[in-house]
Chains A and B, each alone.
Chain A
Amino acid sequence: MLRNSKKGVMAGVYITLVVLLITTLVLAVNFGSVDINYKDVFQIIYGKVFNKDLSSYKNSQINIIWALRLPKVIVAACTGSGLVLTGILMQAITKNPLADPYVLGISSGASAGAVISLLMGPLPLIGKVPLAESSFAGALLTAVIVFVFGSRNGKINTTKMILVGMALSSFFSALTNIIIFLTPDSRRVQSATFWLTGSFAGTDWSDVPVAVGVLTVGMILILPLTRELDALLIGEDIARNTGVNTVRIKWILILVSTLLTSVLVSMSGAIGFVGFVIPHITRNIVGAAHKRLIWFSVLLGAIFMVWADLFARIMFSPQELPVGVVTALCGTPVFLWMLRKSRYSFSK
């Protein structure tokens, strides 16, 4: 569609996407179990940011907007972007269209860590570990094992790394299941399952700097590497022949992916499908070259995730669904439709 379009056209497309994202963010803050009109939304956010007098608003309104919805929406947008970015990186490094942010098993390690924190009592020696920390520890542990077994003499062997990731994935899923199975309290099991499916229900302001920060770091490290990503996606041999230091680039990509996945998953659980499907949708629109692909996908990922979270909140309101359920439910049909419609082929 926009494969060979000019720079000016692309600039227009990006501006449109940014406007869409902002509209989405406002809508998402506006809608929920309790509707608040736009003017109040703006006034409250404006007032909070610039420290104005908000005494004319009810405390509950201010709370819903500022304390509950806004941080959630921001983190959802960052998570959408971050997962999509990681998906792009993993697809480039594995040169496999089926790769997603979770191929290295990081998310299953995070899930095991989360379930340990949610369902088990205080651990010996370390005591009670908070959810995010425990989950992040699980993710890091998995990453270290994957790095140790998946590299040799400082060089990454992609295939080996994925095999190790798959093995660890099964292992940690089994561990997670054992813990769930042995927990008698069904309400706690339900809350664990909710978290495992991916959700922003527990998100508050303390998560915002972390989510924004990790995404920013990821983007800063990856944006200079769009040529290298193109080369890797064409083929590692080609990349090396044209002068890419593939050993170094692969480490940067793997480390950035791991960082993003660990942090994002430990905040909101392993939200599926977004990181895998959005890059394919955007490739279909702007082509495979990363300079365009990354910006387009990252913006689209944020928009998609905020909408998914909005649906999760309002579909069965006041009950909230895990957002991971929504992403998979909407994502799959869209993806299947796209596969049928488009000339985009996975291979050959």
Chain B
Amino acid sequence: MKNKDVIQVKKLDFNIDTLNILSQVSLSVSKNEFVGLVGPNGSGKSTLLKNIYRHYTPSSGMIYLNGKDVFKMKSKEVAQQMAIVAQENQPDFDFSVREMVIMGRYSRKKMFEQDDQTDFEVVSQALSMVGMQGTEERSFLSLSGGEKQRIYLAMAFAQESELIILDEPTNHLDIGYQLYIMEIMRQFQDKTIFTSVHDMNLAARYCDRIIMLKDGRIIANGSPEEVLTVERIREVFHVDTEIEKKKEYLRITYLGWI
């Protein structure tokens, strides 16, 4: 059972100085699961993900990637198994789309190894997955915000990793793009997705499982129906809701702040 867990987090604590941001977080994400992380601003969603993808170092606790201590792995080894799409700052220098996306191939290349036909094919495939086929030679800086985010997504696909972590990549994008990205992710039956989600309707619709954080602790972990209840949303978000099940999805209507 253990080796089916792609991510395993055990008793993770993360403090900044004396401030406790995450406490005793334990969770696991299994192969081919689509798991959403929800919670109010400041609940520690992004901090948790950043610990998993090694941007932060935990104060205590363990994080395993496919059974290995992630902090003892080599950078390239991690990147072969885990791709990250986060909200990125724009570069100040102008690269072409191809030059950007091919960065995703880095963990598969040896020093001095030239980019070969396989790499170019993976790049163009990744671009078609995000609906940006044929844009290889365009300048990255000339793209719109949503297009840029799609290029970052293609970069992650080009990594050909089993696990993709999405750290609020869609926050500043309009609802069309948010749905679009979730749709693309949903299509990958053979990938494991762990994503933070703001919109609970999106979470309910796309996630197999939802983990809810509040004040740095996991307060619920289960199917959308188990996690997203009127009482819990009121308690955690201070929002009154009506929740009904239409077709196979939950539908959440926000009634107002309390």
Contacts and interface: CB of A to CB of B under 8 A. Distances in A.
Interface of A: 3-4, 91, 95-97, 224, 227, 230-231, 233-235, 237-246, 283, 287-289, 344-348
A306 B155 CA distance: 42
Contact of B91 (A224, A233, A246, A283): A233
B92 A242 contact: no
A234 B96 CA distance: 11
14 contacts: A227-B103, A231-B106, A233-B91, A234-B91, A234-B95, A238-B155, A241-B53, A242-B79, A242-B155, A243-B75, A243-B78, A287-B94, A289-B96, A348-B90
B91 A241 contact: no
Contacts of A345: 94, 141
B197 to A, nearest CB: 20
Contacts of A3: 96, 137
A241 B86 CA distance: 10
B93 A231 contact: no
A95 B91 CA distance: 8
Contacts of B156: 241
B248 interface: no
Contact residues of B: prevailing secondary structure: mixed
A344 B95 CA distance: 11
A344 B142 CA distance: 11
A238 B53 CA distance: 12
B93 A242 contact: no
Contacts of A234: 91, 93, 95, 100, 103
Given A227-B109, A234-B100, A348-B90, A244 B95 contact: no
Contacts of A243: 75-80, 106-107, 159
Contacts of A238: 88, 103, 152, 155
B55 A288 contact: no
Contacts of B79: 241-243
A240 B94 contact: no
B86 A237 contact: yes
B257 interface: no
Contact of A241 (B74, B84, B137): B84
Interface in B92-140: 92-96, 99-100, 103-104, 106-107, 109, 111-112, 137
B238 interface: no
A97 B99 CA distance: 19
Contacts of A96: 92
A235 B53 contact: no
A155 B29 CA distance: 31
B55 A347 contact: no
B105 to A, nearest CB: 8
Given A239-B103, A242-B159, A289-B95, 18 more contacts: A91-B93, A95-B92, A230-B99, A230-B103, A234-B91, A234-B103, A235-B88, A235-B91, A237-B88, A238-B103, A241-B53, A243-B76, A243-B106, A245-B74, A283-B94, A289-B96, A345-B94, A346-B92
Contacts of A287: 94-96, 99
A240 B54 contact: yes
Given A95-B92, A233-B91, A287-B94, A242 B99 contact: no
